[in-house]
Amino acid sequence: MKFVLLLTRGEWQESGSPAEQGEVFGQISEWFGKLRADGTITEAYQLQPPGTATTVVLERGTSTLIDRPLLEAKEAIGGYAVIDVDDLDAALTIARSFPTPDGKIEVRPVVER
112 lines the binding site for other proteins (CB under 8 A): no
The Cα 16–Cα 13 span in angstroms is 6
20 binds other proteins, rule: CB under 8 A: no
CB of 76 to other proteins, least distance (A): 24
CA 41, CA 49: separation in Å to the nearest integer? 22
The H-or-E segment that residue 2 falls in is strand 2-8
DSSP state of 103: -
Tell whether residue 73 is a contact of other proteins (CB under 8 A): no
What is the rounded distance in angstroms from the CA atom of residue 14 to the CA atom of residue 9? 8
The residue range among 21-29, 58-66, 72-80, 88-96 that interacts with other proteins, by the rule CB under 8 A, is 88-96
List the one residue from 92, 98, 104, 106 that touches other proteins (CB under 8 A): 92
Interface residues with other proteins (CB under 8 A)?
1, 3, 86-89, 92, 107-109
